[in-house]
Amino acid sequence: MRTIFEDTTLKAEMEESRSRSNESKSTLPVLWLIALLFLGGVGGVSYWAYNHAAVAPPPPPVSLDDPKQRAEAFDKFNQPVLNGNWVEAEAMLSTAAKQKLTDQQKSLPESMLGKFKDYKIVMGEMTQSIDTSAPGMLRLDCLYRFTNDPANYTKIEERIITLTLVIENGRIVIDNWEGVGAEERKEERGSKAAVNK
């Protein structure tokens, strides 16, 4: 015969097993939902990572020793000069160079080209003559060819202009320029030849 205590214990065990099965029935969908959310999150992150553009590396620090940066700075100055857009070329000047123009009361073509300021510039290119002896600046010889008759290129004048590049406000700019005309170079050669005799 069973006692009341046994019946109570048996009843408690049966209720406990029912509650466990109910818990397992309610736990299973929750676990599936968590698993699906995890898979969806992983899929979303991988889709974003695959389709998102990679972060570009930071640009190299501005340096006068880098030939690529020197060439870019020269091209930014040279292209407007070749096109006759002197206002855009002046944007590549340092503060000191702009002050020099103000002090001279000249425009950039007047100061840079002198008597050839009204000529059409046909070509401008860097030479291999580069002087890095002064710290923080670089002297670069540039050959400019121009004519006063753009329709007829028979008479072409040459002028080597030495540009001084410096770093100002995190960019390479033109700080100074010096020019020597073809006639002046011929006179120099003649005087050197006379001295050597």
Q: How far apart are CA 108 and CA 20, in angstroms?
A: 91
Question: How much is the pTM?
Answer: 0.60
Q: How far apart are CA 185 and CA 160, in angstroms?
A: 9
In 107-154 the beta strands, taken as DSSP E runs, fall at 120-131, 137-147
Taking only the tens place, the pLDDT of each residue in 76-128 is 998 998 888 888 988 899 999 899 889 988 888 888 887 877 888 888 888 88
Q: How far apart are CA 100 and CA 146, in angstroms?
A: 24
pLDDT at 196: 44
Report residue 134 CA to chain centroid gap: 25
Q: How far apart are CA 181 and CA 115, in angstroms?
A: 9
pLDDT at 43: 92
67-196: CATH topology: Nuclear Transport Factor 2; Chain: A, (3.10.450)
Q: List the one residue out of 150, 148, 146, 180 whose CA is nearest residue 163.
A: 180
